[in-house]
């Protein structure tokens, strides 16, 4: 606290020019924004604290001097990392110049920019040849565009402070050439509908706005014209480089987001992509209010922020859908900008303030000041996440991500199912895969990407080979594998053409929430219909998941359904026989990375209990002695130890046509090594049984050890809410209206429930 | 806060008998203690808060009624867990009766005790036959003794409140028979020098003190006479049951602790064993002040508390020496009692208060009130852990545990070496093993025990088979394995006869701390001499460990030195070749549980970097192309999935006589998936080299990538501080006084240090 006050004092009193009155900035910082900030210093602790910390960090970095090395390295290497830290620093120094008026900041930016101005014209393409679109400062244009998005903001902050001659020189010798390079000279980078192009568009547009270069702004908004490109060219992720008629920033917005703000590559990339979308939008809002950019497509940009916030566990970590480094969260730099912006430009939604409080910093512009003042004024409210279906596709009709949640605040259970589009180059072959959480703990875990972002020791920080050979493959996910192959035989282009069909999303009853989707394309001739039900009932400590995976096919297939639990297996009801010499499960589609540790024949009901980080997890699933139970172990054919040694339980059902996998997954109890007293360590589900599975209906019952029982019936061919259904089973008649029914029988059974 | 006040109000005003004036308790609670508590209510928040929480918990438990079921189950089963929760509850209810005077508490105790009184005479031995000393209420006498230690305290709290007739009945029909059963009737349990017997002694002594039965107290203090027992009988841990001439509580104190308060079974068991030692001591202090129990053997009981506190990482978790469930810490119930007691009976050391603050509760007696008042008075000071050697053996001459620490508060590096006694039935065959920590993170990890304490799903919560076949074996530890066998061929009795010889423990220079010990017994004809040096230097972000493992032998042996790192392997400088079909490393001594995942020939210098929980770890070790490098994977021959899938790096040096393993281990840098910016991810050690290794001397040099270099020289045959040493090496002369020397050469080498 003392330190903080001291720093504030420094900020107020260090060599300022209090009469500083050059023409103000106009891009992100604005004259009125700067005025608002200066008027409210000392009134918004979160803003003041962010500023104080920035002053310390920036002054330290500036004291280490300027270095603008000749580009040479890949990510992780010195020149790459240095240019990267340069652009972050320049943006921050610009902010400090505007807020404090201290010319040392402006001078630093000027000197650095002139160092770049001196070097840039001497540069050819970057010597590293890996990229489909090589940059000049970095190995790929993407990073050059990152540089320009940040440096535009910095340049804008000193634009009025520079002399006319200085501006001319920088415009003509550095920025305009760079903008041309990133657009007309590299159309395969600039004119796609892709997150790389979004960065390119924003970079070119923002520097255009700073220089009042309307040609660049038009290029950014509408693309750099058509150019002949090979129609089979691919980028480094194996995705096709197509330049459409549609291109430019507005087309990116049209195509990148669904009407619900979902971004088809998934939240990890959306988080990354949102920054250029939002920062360029903020600049357009300030300099081109005529475009009404935040209202564009029903305000889809700000909907995108909410879509991101909803795709998180209770710690704010994004669901690792498609390529994603696990652990990335709403605490990231990009979300710090995005959430304050959503607060300011949308509806000053007070529940966003509680997230900003967790971020513990605000962007140092008027959006951040506005949020910090509101927090200081006690306006913050909890952000309550609800069950939601986020539709995919520009028109919202190409599948979806379904999210079921029970308990908003404590002991939150979250179930996620992907039945959205594949996700292009960063997509995984995981349609109908689920992952789930108990607060911030993974229950059924998705692997995420095989990549250590920016860690040079792991192949320079880029995607590892195992990302393709393992992480993207179907067996790496909590979904069905047919005949030991991946969906679409792991063909990205094929996968990009299809999407599952949302069948049902019903969250009207908080105690029985249902999501359901059908996939008929991932495997030829196989209809997969997965239904996930989240049930709250006093028989269970936490809400229970009922998972029905129905397979309909005329040919005979071998089916594998894996369940990925973290932590230690405590017990199964089948006796697992370990393999003497551990063999590999297959030779492709990810199976080459799995060892077969142990196996068993199935029982009528298969049960297993796991323990991880003080909590117990149990699965109970229908099986038979024709099934095999495999305990896998990840790590085979992994010479560089790139894979985590995870242990899936795989239920293998060979030689079947139509079948239904029915399972419950429970989260229960607690155990700490300090108290050593287990609480509720046993599963409360006694059994699960399939009562009927035909072309139209699936009926499943399950019972708890306290004697309560449930019957879930569902029509799989008619999701209308009005249709009446009648079914006669062996010893009961079922009648209901609408696609599904759950009956609950609380039987007074006196059973010793330990 | 509101809740707390409300509860305090309840405590003050609920159906009390304010004139309650029966003869006071005398065992743990005393009349003056109760008075002190009542006078200071409201002045010591930590005490008040502990009390409020207890009232809620106890009232809830009492409302569920009394159940005293006929004994039937093992640990984890209903009758076991119920009798266990009964004794904890009775003790707590007794405290509430004394503090509040509310007779509902006394009545509850009386009714419960009479339920036991009714059942006890009907009981034979417990039906489960597993134990070498079967109990009546529980499957083993140990648990019956636990019961009596706690229930004695409860009984004492209502002793004066009961009628003479009630006391007579309980004394004669329940407690005296139980005390006889646990002593004279089960001598193999009562008369050993063993933690089981400590519980037995305390139980019998405490009930004796309550009943003023001096015969029982004598028995507790001095043993239950000699009895003929088979001289080869073993307990359930495979340890010999010997009843010495020495027996009883005072003999336990004589034998259990070294003069430094170290307990030979290790801190996990010491924590458990301390409770009966301390609680019986507190009772003796109150009722038999003539014994001066807290001064006995130079105050060794309270030294034991300090020894425990020093055997922890920065989170207070005990070093998992010998059988130990990892994660057990100074937050445990037992330490809550112990630390406040040490505060009260020793020297009111204010640094203990900071630990009590972390415990967030105090014992509800005068020791706890005293600590809570001191904390409220702002007297708490940090508990600074220093480097310390804890000698083992009753006389302190049977080996030791060495602990080196650098940085008391933040970024604390802790190195632990075991060169103490084996540790009896709970000992591991791990002489000269090290484990180390960076704050609370494990760097070189010890496996701990293969056991899930109290988790019924894992073999009833007892020791798993793999505790013997894996966790105790030498290969499971960070120490040398000779010829793929465990030390002493895994023979407990043999191992108990010997201990390594402490060679050197020098912590005078905080920047160069050394511990060193010699083992000549674990492997016949092999002298092992391990020296661990902890070096602080500006070349390294954190203090670095230099580890020298010197082997001297006339016969040729195969040597394995494993390093257990948690987390993910990022990179090694040797190319690891994965095995096609993963094979098991051996068929006994723990090797049967290790798969050989990958191997390689060694290089001159072997380097590897790991990542775990946001931190990087690197090892650099001398090797050669005659060495093999094996990446192991734990989990073979583990049908019940009882073992964690850990991955040791094993350096295998076949066919050698004299050799020296020299390694550095670094902790460095930081990486978070939110910022994705690695800091200091590369090792700073460039190489390690053995310059000399003969019968008398070992000289090792290592260099940092910034060009700094070090030479460590040590005489292994003379640890005198006065001896002068001279050595002539290839290109340098070394001269020094005392057992070791470390020279540091800071060379100005301009090397691009990324």
User: Do A641 and B568 make contact, defined as CB atoms within 8 angstroms?
Assistant: yes
Which chain A residue shows the shortest CA-CA distance from B328? A674
CB atoms within 10 A of CB B155: 28
Nearest CA in chain A to B600: A639
**Quick one: average pLDDT of A274-278?**
95
**Interchain CB contact of B600 with A (< 8 Å):** no
Give the residue among A341, A329, A335, A334 at the shortest CA–CA distance from A369: A341
Give pLDDT, residue A3. Answer: 41
Q: Is B271 on the interface with A (CB under 8 A)?
A: no
- Nearest C-alpha in B relative to A610: B457
What's the rounded mean pLDDT across residues A581-606?
93
**DSSP-assigned states of every residue in B617-657:** EEEEEE--TTSEEEEEEE-TT-TT--S-----EEEEEEEES
Q: What is the pLDDT of residues A113-160, one digit of tens each?
A: 999 999 999 999 999 999 999 999 999 999 999 999 999 999 999 999
Torsion of CA B743, B748, B749, B754, to 10 degrees: 100
Predicted pLDDT at A578: 80
* Closest approach of B325 to chain A, Cα-based (Å): 7
Taking the CA of residue B454 and the nearest CA in chain A, the distance in Å comes to 7
Catalytic choice (B268, B269, B498, B564): B269
pLDDT at A477 over 80: yes
* b/e code A115-151 from CB counts within 10 Å (16+ = b): ebbebbeebebbebeebbbbbbbbbbbbbbbbbbbbb
State the Rg of chain A over Cα: 28
The whole-number pLDDT of residue B12 equals 39
Is B426 among the residues known to form the active site? Answer: yes
| Chain-chain contact of B674 with A332 (C-beta, under 8 angstroms) | yes
Distance CA A344, CA A353 (A): 11
The minimum CA-CA distance between A88 and chain B, rounded to whole Å, is 12
**Measured between CA atoms, how close is B316 to chain A, in angstroms?**
11
Task: Identify all chain A residues contacting B673, using CB atoms and an 8 Å cutoff.
Answer: 325-329, 453
Does the distance separating the beta carbons of B678 and A455 come in below 8 Å?
Answer: yes
Closest CA relative to residue A433, chosen from A319, A326, A328, A567: A319
Other beta carbons less than 10 A from residue B379's beta carbon: 13
Residues of chain B short of pLDDT 50, as ranges, are 1-21, 749-754
How high is the mean pLDDT of chain A? 93
Nearest CA in chain A to B677: A454
Q: Supply angle C-alpha A687, A693, A694, rounded to 5.
A: 175
Residues 456-495 of B with CB under 8 A from A: 456-458
Q: With an 8 Å Cβ cutoff, are A578 and B631 in contact?
A: no
The per-residue pLDDT for A666 is 98
Residue written as token pair 């009404």:
A292
Does the beta-carbon distance from A640 to B674 stay under 8 Å?
no
Q: What is the pLDDT of residues A709-721, one digit of tens each?
A: 999 999 999 999 9
**Closest by Cβ to A641, choosing from B327, B569, B595:** B569
Residues within 8 A of A (CB atoms), B 641-660 only? 641, 644-645, 647
**Contacting residues for A168 by C-beta, under 8 A, at least 6 apart:** none
Q: Do A578 and B675 touch (CB under 8 A)?
A: no
Task: Check whether A752 has a pLDDT greater than 50.
Answer: no
Which residue is closest to B330 within chain A, CA to CA? Answer: A674
Closest CA of chain B from A435, distance in Å: 19
CA-based nearest residue to B436, from B346, B546, B529, B559: B546
Give pLDDT tens digits for A369-427.
Answer: 999 999 999 999 999 999 999 999 999 999 999 999 998 767 899 999 999 999 998 99
> How many residues are given for chain A?
754
List B426, B477, B557, B593, catalytic entry = B426
| Number of C-beta neighbours around residue B184 at 10 A | 15
Residue of chain B minimizing CA distance to A647:
B645
Query: Which chain B residues are closer than 8 Å to A454 by Cβ?
Result: 676-678
* Interchain pair A647, B645: CB under 8 A: yes
A440 touches chain B (CB under 8 A): no
Asked if the C-beta of B70 comes within 8 angstroms of chain A's C-beta atoms, the answer is no
What is the number of CB-based contacts under 8 A between chain A and chain B? 139
Flag whether pLDDT at A365 surpasses 80.
yes
Spell out which residues of chain B touch residue A682, defining contact as CB-CB under 8 Å: 456-457
Locate tokens 């993974």: which residue?
A442
- Smallest CA–CA distance, residue A530 to chain B, in Å, is 30
| Residue A18 pLDDT | 38
pLDDT score, position A671: 97
Whether A325 sits inside 8 A of B611 (CB atoms) is no
A99/A108 Cα distance (integer angstroms): 15
Contacts of residue B671 in chain A, CB cutoff 8 Å? 455
Residues of A labelled as active-site residues:
269, 426
Q: Name every chain A residue with its beta carbon within 8 A of the beta carbon of B143.
A: none
Instruction: Give whole-number Cα distances, A99 to A18, A47, A88, A154, in Å.
Output: 11, 12, 17, 13
Flag whether pLDDT at A751 surpasses 70.
no
For the residues of B676-740, what is the DSSP string, one character each? Answer: ---BS-S--EEEEEEEEE-SSEEEEEEEETTS-EEEEEEESS---SS-EEEEE-SS-EEEEESSE
C-alpha span between A376 and A44 (Å, rounded): 6
Q: By the CB < 8 Å criterion, does B331 face chain A?
A: yes
What is the least distance, in Å, from the CA of B60 to any CA of chain A?
A: 16
- Cβ-defined contact of B641 to A576 (cutoff 8 Å): yes
Taking the Cβ of residue B751 and every Cβ of chain A, the question of whether any pair is shorter than 8 Å is answered with: no
The pLDDT of residue A21: 43
Please check whether residue B205 is in contact with residue B156, taking contact to mean a CB–CB distance below 8 angstroms.
no
Chain A residues whose beta carbon lies within 8 Å of the beta carbon of residue B457: 570-571, 609, 681-682
Burial zone of A675 (CB within 10 Å; 0-12 exposed, 13-18 middle, 19+ buried): middle
Are B455 and A577 in contact (CB < 8 Å)? no
Rounded to two decimals, the pTM is 0.91
Go through the domains of chain A in sequence order and give each one's CATH number.
18-256 (1.50.10.100), 258-385 (1.50.10.100), 398-685 (2.70.98.70)
Smallest CA–CA separation between A187 and chain B, in Å? 29
CB A430 within 8 A of CB A419: no
CB contact under 8 A, B581 and A578: no
| Percent of chain A predicted with pLDDT > 90 | 87
User: pLDDT (tens digit, 9 = 90+) per residue, A76-122?
Assistant: 789 999 999 999 999 999 999 999 999 999 999 999 999 999 999 99
Q: How far is A254 from chain B (nearest CA, A)?
A: 28
Burial of A583 (0-12, 13-18, 19+ CB in 10 A): middle
Which of A73, A455, A593, A600 should be substituted to probe chain B, the one whose Cβ sees the most B Cβ atoms within 10 Å?
A455
Residue A234 DSSP label: B
Q: Are A474 and A487 in contact (CB under 8 A)?
A: yes
pLDDT for the residue A687: 96
Q: What pLDDT does residue B259 have? A: 97
Which chain A residues are within 8 Å of B638, Cβ to Cβ?
Answer: 578
**Beta strands B434-438 and B441-442: pairing type?**
antiparallel
Flag whether residue B614 sits within 8 Å of chain A, measured between CB atoms: no
Query: SS in 3 state form for A168-192?
Result: HHHHHHHHHHHHHHHCCCCHHHHCC
Quick check: B327 and A673 CB within 8 A? yes
Contacts of B577 in chain A (CB under 8 A): 639
Query: What is the rounded distance in angstroms from the CA atom of residue B134 to the CA atom of residue A478?
Result: 48
A291-310, pLDDT tens digit by residue? Answer: 999 999 999 999 999 999 99
């Amino acid at each position: 606290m003392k330190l903080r006050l001291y720093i504030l004092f420094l900020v107020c009193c260090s060599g300022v020019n209090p009469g500083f009155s050059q023409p103000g900035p106009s891009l992100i910082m604005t004259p009125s924004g700067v005025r608002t900030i200066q008027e409210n210093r000392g009134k918004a602790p979160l803003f003041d604290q962010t500023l104080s910390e920035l002053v310390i960090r920036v002054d330290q970095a500036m004291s280490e001097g300027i270095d603008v090395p000749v580009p040479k390295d890949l990510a992780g290497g010195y020149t790459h990392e240095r240019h990267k830290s340069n652009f972050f620093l320049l943006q921050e120094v610009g902010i400090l110049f505007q807020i404090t008026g201290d010319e040392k900041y402006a001078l630093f930016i000027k000197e650095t920019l002139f160092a770049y101005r001196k070097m840039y014209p001497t540069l050819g393409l970057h010597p590293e040849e890996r990229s489909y679109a090589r940059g000049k400062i970095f190995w790929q244009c993407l990073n050059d565009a990152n540089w320009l998005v940040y440096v535009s903001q910095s340049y804008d902050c000193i634009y009025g402070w520079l002399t006319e001659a200085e501006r001319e020189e920088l415009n003509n010798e550095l920025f305009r050439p760079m903008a041309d390079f990133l657009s007309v000279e590299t159309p395969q980078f600039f004119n796609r509908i892709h997150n790389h192009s979004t960065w390119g568009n924003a970079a070119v547009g923002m520097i255009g706005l700073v220089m009042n270069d309307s040609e660049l702004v038009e290029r950014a908004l509408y693309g750099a014209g058509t150019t002949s490109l090979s129609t089979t060219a691919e980028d480094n992720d194996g995705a096709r480089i197509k330049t459409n008629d549609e291109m430019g920033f507005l087309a990116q917005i049209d195509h990148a987001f669904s009407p619900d703000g979902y971004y088809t590559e998934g939240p990890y990339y959306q988080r990354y992509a949102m920054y250029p979308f939002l920062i360029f939008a903020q600049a357009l809002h300030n300099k081109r209010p005529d475009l009404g950019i935040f209202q564009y497509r029903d305000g889809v940009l700000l909907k995108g922020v909410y879509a991101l916030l909803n795709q998180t566990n209770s710690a704010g970590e994004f669901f690792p859908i498609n390529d994603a480094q696990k652990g990335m969260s709403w605490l990231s730099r990009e979300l710090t900008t995005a959430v304050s912006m959503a607060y300011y430009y949308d509806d000053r939604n007070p529940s966003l303030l509680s997230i900003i409080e967790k971020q513990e910093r605000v962007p140092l512009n008027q959006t951040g000041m506005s949020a910090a003042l509101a927090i200081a004024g006690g306006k913050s409210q909890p952000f309550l996440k609800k069950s939601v279906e986020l539709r995919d596709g520009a028109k919202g009709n190409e599948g979806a991500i379904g999210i079921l949640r029970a308990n908003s605040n404590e002991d939150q259970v979250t179930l996620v199912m992907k039945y959205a589009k594949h996700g292009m180059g960063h997509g995984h072959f995981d349609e109908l895969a689920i992952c789930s959480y108990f607060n911030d703990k993974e229950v059924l875990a998705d692997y995420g990407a095989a990549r250590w972002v920016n860690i040079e020791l792991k192949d320079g920080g880029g995607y590892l080979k195992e990302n393709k050979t393992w992480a993207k493959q179907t067996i790496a996910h909590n979904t069905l594998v047919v005949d030991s192959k991946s969906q679409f035989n792991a063909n990205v282009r094929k996968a990009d053409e299809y999407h599952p069909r949302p069948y049902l999303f019903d969250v009207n009853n908080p105690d029985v929430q249902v999501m359901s989707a059908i996939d008929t394309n991932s495997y030829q001739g196989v209809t997969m219909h997965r239904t996930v039900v989240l049930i709250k009932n006093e028989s269970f400590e936490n809400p229970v998941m009922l998972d029905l995976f129905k397979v309909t096919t005329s040919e005979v297939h071998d089916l594998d359904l894996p369940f990925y639990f973290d932590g230690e297996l405590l017990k199964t009801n089948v006796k697992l026989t370990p393999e003497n010499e551990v063999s590999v499960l297959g030779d492709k589609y990810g199976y080459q990375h799995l060892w077969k540790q142990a196996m068993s024949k199935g029982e009528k009901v298969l049960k297993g209990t796991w323990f991880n980080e003080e909590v117990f997890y149990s699965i109970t699933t229908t099986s038979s002695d024709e099934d095999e139970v495999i305990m896998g172990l990840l790590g085979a054919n992994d010479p560089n130890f790139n894979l985590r040694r995870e242990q899936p339980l795989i239920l293998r059902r060979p030689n079947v046509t139509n079948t239904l996998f029915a399972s419950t997954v429970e989260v229960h109890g607690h155990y700490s090594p300090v108290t050593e007293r287990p609480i509720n360590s046993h599963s409360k589900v006694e059994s699960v049984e399939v009562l009927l599975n035909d072309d139209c209906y699936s009926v499943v019952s399950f019972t708890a050890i306290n004697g309560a029982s449930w019957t879930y019936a569902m029509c799989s061919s008619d999701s209308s809410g009005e249709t009446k259904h009648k079914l006669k089973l062996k010893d009961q008649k079922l009648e209901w209206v609408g696609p599904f029914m759950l009956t609950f029988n609380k039987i007074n059974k006196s059973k010793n429930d330990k």
